[in-house]
Chain A
Amino acid sequence: MDILANLAIGFGVALSPYTLFLAICGCFLGTIIGALPGLGPSNGVAILIPITFTLGLDATSALVLMTSVYYGAMYGGRISSILLNIPGDEPALMTTLDGYPMAKQGRAGDALVLSGVASFVGAFLATIGLMLLAPSLARVAFLFGPAEYFALYLLAFCTLGGMASNNQAKAALAACIGLGIATIGVDSSSGLPRLTGGNLHLYDGIDFLVAIVGLFAIAEIFFFIESHGKGSSIGVKLDKVRIPWKDIMSTKWTMLRASGVGFIAGILPGAGASLGSFLAYMSEKSIAGDKGGFGTGVPKGVAAPEAGNNAAAGGALVPMLTLGVPGSGTTAVLLALLMTLNITPGPTLFTDRPEVVWGLIASLLIANVVLLLMNVPMVKIFVKVLMVPAWVLLPGVTMISFVGIYSLSGSYFDLLLMVGFGVLGYFLRKLDIPTVPVILGILLGGNMENALRRAMTLSDGDVTYLFSSPIAIGLWIAAVAGFIAPMFLRGLLKKPQAITD
């Protein structure tokens, strides 16, 4: 049993008392980050990356800590979805549909515990799926040459753009903004500066962490200034929390089905967790039919999107680890973490550094169990966190972001750039231009261009080389379909509106 042997390596790395301690800290911190309105998994992890980096943790410890934070934030996101009707990030939107009505019926505690269990089931099954699928996909990935990689990156941008926005042109523009930013800096082959405008600070290029923290965290403060922090107070009461065995048993098949749907959606590069929770919810809704009462606060409507969401988060790790192409905004941030730690995801990761991969997988399993144990009894503590008023929280988050980015290079220039990205992020979100393709563009732009250059060098400038292998052609077709199909399916894929008070 190859997998068991590998898993033993992983647990050997991840199960020391010190890393276990980090995992518990990370889970606790992550749940709080996820629960706080205005701080989702993406920006929570983004803010913490530079600080972890400065703390000087080694790669394994940092990886354990941050994956715990990541999983914790996915768990915590449901708390604000259910109690405040505010999704912490986009995938959590589906949880508000039944979670908030259920909480308003006075079953907030049940909804929280049920969604915690559903999250556990989804994430656990997805991690097992990751273990089974990733090594074989990594073997396939060895067949990929530069032409295939270029098509694959294109596919990621196309499907992400297709799913993330209501307007294809806006999604493509967002990707171009990111890719354009990635081209700034010293050119890798000529050693000469490109598109820097003569500014010395830009010779190194623009650090993706600056962009991520700016677009996600700093932009948030403008939204809070606009809304004056309204809408972040708890409207429902949380009484005694006990374990609703009956609901858990009655939704077990829902959880399993939703996990499967979510995992498959998560594997698609670029589509990610939003699609997972959406498909999981909609398929359960159609199985239950009109009598199912979806949207009125039924347990199945809480369990399905949570299991789907967390399964998709695990599934999104498959393309991220094997191909280096993240499947969602949060995995993009996780990819940023790996790149900061000087770990390059891709097929060689599985053969060259098995301890990192299997350590990561083991820490995911550990984080999952810790989170389940932590979330059921301690849910009241996390709910207390929601009491922190926005006028303390947001300035605090901003200041932590500043210190984090300042610690990267100690330069005012990065800070000003971050503020600039914050302003850009505000306008992009106002105009319904997705910000995740921007991040993905900055992260992957260098690799995508290198793939293109290598393809052009190998073929001596022959463009048809890009379509020369069956894999490449398949990826191109999928990319075009992924970009165009949502235009026609928009009516079908229409997201249900969250209920308003």
Chain B
Amino acid sequence: MAADRIFGLVALITAVAYLAAATQIQTNMFSGEFLPKLFPYMIGTIAAICSLFMVFKPDPDPDWPVAGTWVNMALAVVVLAVYAVMLTPLGFILPTIFAAGILSYQISPRLVPAALSGLGLSLGLFVLFKYALGLGNIVAYRVPTPAKLWDAISILIPFVGGH
């Protein structure tokens, strides 16, 4: 019950924000005044109606994971996000060892197999991508400068990086 209501409310706010943004769409003489806004208006309206349905006619709640699992999943999101920004400055091998290892540990919490699968996946996929598929430019190994590392990690800090 509660989950559907909360999601419905979030969706409703998003839909209203989307509609508000749609009224601000810039137009010019090529597009006409109304056509670029018409479709967003339609979608936003339907989405808002559906969200109201979810708020007032919610389905039963799904089985949510326990608190510890939430922490784990949040950690996984952080790991994936850091991995995403580190691929550019550090290349493939080093970030993959850590990311794959941590994810493996989270699925099955045993230290040695997780570390081994991180190492194995990183090197194995590197060989596969570089030599079998010829994607060496994408998985290249790089040595970064501290400035570049900071640039990359600052992307994840709100209002600091990201450009």
| Cβ–Cβ < 8 Å partners of A189 in chain B | 30-32, 35-36
Contact in complex: A419, B80 (CB < 8 Å): yes
| Residues of A near any B CB (own CB < 8 A) | 51, 54-55, 166-167, 169-170, 172-173, 176-177, 179-180, 183, 187, 189-195, 197, 218, 221-222, 224-226, 228-229, 389-392, 394-396, 398-400, 402-403, 406-407, 410, 412, 415-416, 418-419, 422-423, 426-427, 430-433, 448-449, 452-453, 456-457, 461
Partner of A412, one of B85, B105, B108, B134: B85
Q: Give the complex CA separation of A425 and B80 in angstroms.
A: 15
Contacts between the two chains (Cβ within 8 Å), count = 198
Q: Give the complex CA separation of A179 and B47 in angstroms.
A: 10
Contact in complex: B133, A395 (CB < 8 Å): no
| Cβ–Cβ < 8 Å partners of A427 in chain B | 7
| Cβ–Cβ < 8 Å partners of A55 in chain B | 133-135
Taking A167-B59, A395-B100, A406-B87 as contacts, is the C-beta distance between A226 and B65 under 8 angstroms?
Answer: yes
| Cβ–Cβ < 8 Å partners of A403 in chain B | 92, 125, 129, 135, 138-139
Contact in complex: B26, A192 (CB < 8 Å): yes
| Cβ–Cβ < 8 Å partners of A172 in chain B | 46, 50
Contact in complex: A398, B100 (CB < 8 Å): yes
Interface residues of B in 56-95 (CB under 8 A from A): 57, 59, 62, 64-65, 69, 72-73, 76-77, 80-81, 83-85, 87-88, 92
Q: Report B119 CB to chain A, min CB distance, Å.
A: 11
B53 within 8 A of A: yes
New A-B contacts (11) at CB < 8 Å, excluding given A180-B40, A180-B47, A452-B39: A54-B133, A170-B50, A173-B11, A190-B30, A192-B25, A225-B73, A226-B69, A392-B104, A395-B121, A398-B99, A430-B64
Partner of B117, one of A179, A224, A392: A392
Taking A190-B36, A402-B87 as contacts, is the C-beta distance between A176 and B46 under 8 angstroms?
Answer: yes
B113 within 8 A of A: yes
| Cβ–Cβ < 8 Å partners of B15 in chain A | 176
List 6 interface pairs A-B (beta carbons < 8 Å), by A numbering.
Answer: A193-B26, A195-B22, A222-B76, A228-B109, A396-B100, A430-B64
Q: Report A435 CB to chain B, min CB distance, Å.
A: 14
Q: Report A350 CB to chain B, min CB distance, Å.
A: 29
